[in-house]
Amino acid sequence: MAKEAIKLVANNKKAFHDFFIEEKYEAGLVLHGTEVKSLRMGKCSIKEGFARIENGEAYIYGMNISPYEKGNIFNRDPLRPKKMLLHKQEIMKLNGKLAERGYALVPLQVYFKDGRAKIEIGLAKGKKLYDKRESIAKHDLKREHEREFKIKNL
């Protein structure tokens, strides 16, 4: 079995800070030619992005794919909603969860897997301010322990 080639394009670290990620899903992206070329160059931002389900189809909004420099008239609107390719059962399950209060679909990362553009989305529940402070404290404590361990082992 051959190992899958994955090339990371964009990562959304802010999502892990602002949300509790409960489930992760991998979806394909419906893109046009110059958008794919721009993605291959790493010109993508998903920090302000979010996903919605409309008429039984999943779309990602706020995902910015910068226009390709050599694309001229073939370039599309960088902020246009992009369709995500998910199985019907996954869409129905996500739609049921999104109907509950406090859930959102956030993009976690965009990458190429075997030459195809993929997006990882997470079913997320928002964090309160005290949750954010708690996770920052845990992160600082972990960093402090790693620092002590490094000093001890020198």
pLDDT in tens, 125-134: 887 777 778 8
- Is 98 inside any structural domain? yes
Mean pLDDT, the chain, integer: 86
Q: What is the mean pLDDT of residues 127-148?
A: 84
> Using 50, 70 and 90 to split pLDDT, how confident is the model at 84?
very high
* pLDDT of amino acid 35: 86
Contact between residue 123 and residue 97 where contact means Cβ atoms under 8 Å apart:
yes
pLDDT value for 128 = 79
The pLDDT value given to residue 25: 93
Asked if residue 140 is part of any domain, the answer here is: no
Which pLDDT belongs to residue 2? 54
Q: Which domain holds residue 11?
A: 6-127
Residue pair 93/36 in contact by the 8 Å Cβ criterion: no
Question: Could you tell me if residue 139 is inside a domain?
Answer: no
Task: Write the CATH number for 65.
Answer: 2.40.280.10
Look at residue 1 and tell me whether its pLDDT is greater than 60.
Answer: no
pLDDT tens per residue across span 22-55 = 999 999 999 888 888 888 888 888 988 899 999 9
Asked whether residue 26 is domain-assigned, the answer is yes
Is residue 150 situated within a structural domain? no
d(CA 143, CA 47): 25
Q: What is the mean pLDDT of residues 63-87?
A: 83
- Examine the pLDDT at 72 and tell me if it is beyond 80: no
pLDDT grade for 79, boundaries at 50, 70 and 90: confident
| 102 found inside a domain | yes
Q: What's the token pair of residue 73?
A: 């008239």
Burial of 55 from C-beta contacts in 10 A (0-12 / 13-18 / 19+):
exposed
Structural domains counted in the chain: 1
What backbone phi and psi angles, to 5 degrees, belong to 100? -70, 155
Residue with the bigger pLDDT between 140 and 70: it is: 140
Note whether residue 138 is domain-resident: no
Q: Is the pLDDT of residue 96 over 70?
A: yes
At residue 32, the pLDDT reads: 83
pTM of the model: 0.77
Tell whether 69 is covered by a domain.
yes
User: What average pLDDT score do residues 59-88 get?
Assistant: 84
